[in-house]
Amino acid sequence: MPLTEQRMPAEGHQASHLAEILALEPRLLESAKSLTGDAVQAQALVRETLMIARDPAYGAGEVVDPQVWIFRLLRQRFHVLGRDQERRRSRVGALAVPIAAIGA
């Protein structure tokens, strides 16, 4: 099994993994900027990613390679947020059609 897929007990590794993850924040921000194309959106994406990483229930402390895990989480959050925005746009678009038709 590759190292990135191995799991270890959270208690012994959580603090050191979290410190490693937090030290990666500048690199996470650069990666987020390349994903979003916008500095403000990139900062929001990194904040959300780090918030999730700090949550012990999410399992950050169980990962053997926190660097691989946090960048994977960043990309995952980017795609999830993109899908959410698309859904909101399509809902707003669907609502705008009947409203425009009523006013005609």
> What CATH number does the domain containing 52 carry?
1.10.1740
Domain count, the chain: 1
Give the three-state DSSP class for 63.
strand
Burial classification of residue 96, based on how many CB atoms lie within 10 Å of its CB (0-12 exposed, 13-18 middle, 19 or more buried): exposed
What local confidence, expressed as pLDDT, does residue 10 receive? 47
Q: Give me the domain span that covers residue 49.
A: 3-76
Express each pLDDT in 23-75 by its tens digit: 999 999 999 999 999 999 999 999 999 998 888 777 655 556 889 989 999 99
Q: Is residue 21 part of a domain?
A: yes
Q: Is residue 98 part of a domain?
A: no
Q: Is residue 34 part of a domain?
A: yes
Over residues 12-30, mean pLDDT: 84
Does the reported pTM lie above 0.85? no
Q: Is residue 52 part of a domain?
A: yes
Q: Is residue 88 part of a domain?
A: no
pLDDT at 91 over 60: yes
